[in-house]
């Protein structure tokens, strides 16, 4: 995929120590962006940064430790970014967890999947707004999933308090990513900020590590070769949403092949459950209450 030059632009990618997050960061670095790799494992992000520097001589790569499941960690990481006093042109909210076997809560009292996949990114985006709004054409790309189209993707019980099923919790969090994007796009109207969402299609990206031994063993073959595509191709939807000219606020980008499992990246339809402004406002209010973060967009 031809990526427009990102010279002079800065980007931050969460979950960039492996999988599609790493491939997205690598593509942005190749296009000339200064890229911050954000993840919770310091050793792994440093190793990922070294791989990018080896692959792209002269690349500007930084690392940032953040655990998106912990609001204090998000606040600390955002403070580190803001202390540099540089514009942030691009934020890719990619990090995520899937199929946690049993319901667990974070130290903040939130269910882990919802906390990591949605609340952490809601808080991080809100805290980084000053840096984003200093950029000339900032974008926030939040990574969802085809799971957001499933019948279990509802937000009637966002924290899975009335019964926990691993994939249902994941689907809910991915719907939350879309509702967040749509509501952010509405609230950012009149500013240069573009909020978009993307999904990578089907790929073995590391999210399957919480599955059974059989699932973990078969994932690279089934998800990458038979049904979907490799992580570097899966990352193209994220890179497209982040860099392609003309991406509209609220856009949803994904593979355009059969069942959106793989194929060239491009606009794909939103699930109907993600287009309800009332649901977006309700999720936003809940997210503000649970994170203590409000957005200064006025």
List the catalytic residues. 170
CA separation, residue 167 to residues 69, 137, 142, 183 (Å): 18, 36, 19, 24
Query: End-to-end CA distance of the chain, in Å?
Result: 37
Question: Which residues, in sequence order, are bridge partners of residue 91?
Answer: 12, 140
Q: CA angle, 291 as apex, 180 and 210 as ends, to 5°?
A: 70
- Among the listed residues 178, 146, 171, the one whose alpha carbon sits nearest the alpha carbon of residue 156: 171
User: What is the side-by-side order of every strand in the sheet holding 10-14?
Assistant: 61-65, 34-39, 10-14, 90-93, 139-143, 194-198, 252-255, 265-267
Give dist(CA 113, CA 43) in Å, integer: 23
Beta carbons within 10 angstroms of residue 296's beta carbon: 8
Compute the residue count for the chain. 298
Q: Can you say whether the dihedral through the CA atoms of 126, 237, 174, 95 is positive or negative?
A: negative
């Amino acid at each position: 995929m031809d990526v427009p030059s990102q010279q002079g632009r800065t980007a931050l990618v969460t979950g960039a120590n492996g999988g599609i997050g790493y491939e997205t960061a690598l593509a942005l670095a190749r296009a000339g962006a200064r890229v911050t790799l954000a993840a919770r494992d310091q050793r792994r992000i440093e190793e990922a940064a070294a791989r990018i520097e080896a692959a792209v001589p002269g690349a500007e790569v930084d690392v940032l430790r953040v655990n998106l499941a912990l609001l204090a960690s998000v606040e600390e990481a955002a403070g580190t970014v803001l202390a540099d006093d540089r514009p942030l042109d691009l934020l890719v909210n990619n990090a995520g967890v899937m199929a946690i076997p049993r319901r667990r809560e974070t130290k903040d009292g939130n269910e882990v999947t919802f906390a990591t996949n949605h609340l952490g990114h809601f808080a991080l985006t809100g805290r980084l707004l000053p840096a984003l709004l200093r950029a000339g054409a900032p974008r926030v790309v939040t990574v969802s999933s085809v799971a957001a189209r499933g019948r279990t993707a509802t937000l009637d019980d966002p924290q899975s308090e009335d019964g926990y099923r691993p994939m249902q919790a994941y689907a809910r969090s991915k719907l939350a990513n879309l509702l967040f994007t749509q509501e952010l796009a509405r609230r950012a109207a009149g500013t240069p900020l573009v909020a978009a969402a993307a999904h990578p299609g089907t790929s073995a990206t590391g999210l399957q590590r919480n599955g059974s031994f059989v699932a973990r063993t078969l994932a690279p073959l089934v998800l990458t070769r038979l049904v979907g595509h490799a992580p570097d191709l899966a990352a193209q939807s994220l890179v497209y949403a982040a860099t392609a000219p003309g991406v509209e606020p609220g856009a949803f980008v994904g593979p355009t092949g059969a069942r959106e499992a793989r194929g060239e990246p491009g606009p794909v339809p939103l699930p109907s459950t993600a287009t309800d402004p009332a649901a977006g406002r309700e999720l936003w209010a809940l997210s503000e209450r649970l994170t203590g973060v409000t957005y200064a967009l006025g």
